[in-house]
Structure 1
Amino acid sequence: MAGSGLYGSDTSGGNTRRAATAELIGTFLLVFTGTAVAVSAATGRTIAGQPSNSLAVALAFGLVLVALVSALGHVSGAHLNPAVTVALALTRKFPWRTVPAYVVAQLIGAVLASLVVWGVFGSTARDDAALGATTPAAGASVWQVLLVEVAITFLLMFVIISVATDDRVAPAAVGPAVGFALAAAVLIGGPISGGAVNPARALGPMLVSGSLDAWWAYLVGPLVGAAVAALVYDRFLARASAPEPSEPAVENA
């Protein structure tokens, strides 16, 4: 299966340690970037002018994912998300034997990111902003959180499996498409669930901050959404052929 992973990565057993290390580093950078901006916004810190806002958080997650797909995609596939890893395994695009190494690496990366955010921003980040942990919005039920996490992870996974596993897609479009999808997902889910889209991104800050509200919805929702998206694409779209150009009409002599 060498070279058969996302973005041309090597999914053979001999690459597991290197790939898992890339997943740890990539998930660390993804979670650190997004939650650092979220903590800055929640605590009113500024660079110049007004503090960051919700748009800045979504852009931070989306932009850093574009960079990480380019930097690490060829090494590990840049899953950076347990839901993506499991969904790819379900559709036989990733070996099940490697799933535990990836998921553990992703969770460790997320926890380390939260510890660094705590160290950088101090106790205020943990006490007042829960280190950027996703929590249900005021008035939102846990079932609404679950539903929106299923929907937005479906969006992200559908784009990932479409652009990263189908050779009909131009390689230059892959990184931006995946990053834009993540940014859109965070913007959609933010007002209800905080827009986790990723069990590691959700659980890392939760575990370090001790804020575990509706934790199971942030685990189950992305896993279900990603699995459904991967199965829909695999069963109904991946085998489809690109439409043939229509033949020009031939005029009668």
Structure 2
Amino acid sequence: MEEGTEIIGTYFIIFAGCGAVVVNEIYGSITFPGISLVWGLIVMAMVYSVGHISGAHFNPVVTITLTLFQHFPLEQVPIYIAAQMLGSILAGGTLCLLFDISQEAYFRLTIPVGPHRRSLILEIIISYLFLFVISGVATDNRAIGELAGITVGMTILLNVFVAGPVYGTSMNPARSIGPAVVMRVYEGLWIYVIGSIVGTIMGGFGYNLIRFTDKPLSELPKSTSFIKTLSRTRSNAR
């Protein structure tokens, strides 16, 4: 069940995000801000729709990093990663069937525009931020859990805004490997794979360094639910 959810979630993320790039390349009607918005919105939609089933990883490096910090069982890692890769390849294949995509356009996903070193550094930085945010909203029981989808989606939107024009961005090896396999274009692919792995693991370490606090338990929030907290506040005001 969880693995099927990872296939479906990854499929629609790649289909919508890469699809926006493809449609913009062919028809020029979406624009770069629109593409950034699509990436953020589709991730948010998938987190809220199926996150309660599989945890909404949709990303091999998220699965690996959560496992490193004991938030996910090791025995499920291979099947999750296989499901994510399959979802990405199926999405890339669907887009190739629907549109006449040239290798020059190639979704504008894994071919850096400038120097490889600059693209690698940017990928590490935005992947760090991506996993840092996920660690905060999804693994810390003091966070407001109901806002996780919005927070993660907005982080992706911002990262694409900043780094998208430079090299397309990834933050997800499945997102880059799937279209690369379908189109058989591997130029610069290592940047997106290595950069996302290094950045997300560093982001996990970064959040775990500040996770613990010297505050007594009595000063920490009693509830992880924004809705419950709001309800309690209203009740006390009556």
TM range (shorter): 0.7 to 0.9
In structure 2, the residue matched to 1:29 is 12
Deviation at 1:132, TM superposition (A): 4.7
Alignment deviations for residues 31-77 of structure 1 (CA, whole Å, 9 cap, x no partner): 000000000111225xxxxx111111111110011111011111111
Closer, same or farther in 2 for the Cα pair 1:223/1:153, shift >3 Å? same
Q: How many residues align?
A: 218
In structure 2, the residue matched to 1:98 is 76
In structure 1, the residue matched to 2:110 is 134
Unaligned runs of 5+ in 1: 1-17, 46-50, 246-253
* Higher fraction of helix: 2
SS at match of 1:167: coil
Query: Match of 2:110, as an amino acid?
Result: T
Measured in 2, the distance between the counterparts of 1:77 and 1:242 equals 29
Q: Map of 1:66-105 to 2, 5 A cutoff?
A: 66-105=44-83
CA RMSD of aligned residues (A): 1.7
TM-score where L is the length of structure 1:
0.82
Q: Indicate which of 204, 210, 215 corresponds to 1:237.
A: 210
Runs of 4+ in 1 over 3 A off after TM superposition: 241-245
Percent of residue pairs bearing the same amino acid type: 33
Deviation at 1:228, TM superposition (A): 0.5
SS at match of 1:80: coil
Q: Indicate which of 113, 129, 135 corresponds to 1:161.
A: 135
Measured in 1, the distance between the counterparts of 2:215 and 2:117 equals 39
Q: Map of 1:78-227 to 2, 5 A cutoff?
A: 78-121=56-99, 123=100, 125-137=101-113, 140-227=114-201
Measured in 1, the distance between the counterparts of 2:156 and 2:196 equals 13
Alignment deviations for residues 155-200 of structure 1 (CA, whole Å, 9 cap, x no partner): 1111111001112122221110000001111112212220111100
Deviation at 1:100, TM superposition (A): 0.8
Closer, same or farther in 2 for the Cα pair 1:241/1:162, shift >3 Å? farther
Deviation at 1:126, TM superposition (A): 3.7
**Range moving further from structure 2, 101-110 or 169-178:** 169-178
TM-score where L is the length of structure 2:
0.87
Deviation at 1:134, TM superposition (A): 2.6
In structure 2, the residue matched to 1:12 is none
Unaligned runs of 5+ in 2: 221-238
Closer, same or farther in 2 for the Cα pair 1:241/1:184, shift >3 Å? farther
In structure 2, the residue matched to 1:48 is none
SS at match of 1:86: helix
In structure 1, the residue matched to 2:3 is 20
**Range moving further from structure 2, 36-45 or 25-34:** 36-45
Measured in 1, the distance between the counterparts of 2:158 and 2:75 equals 32
Measured in 2, the distance between the counterparts of 1:82 and 1:69 equals 15
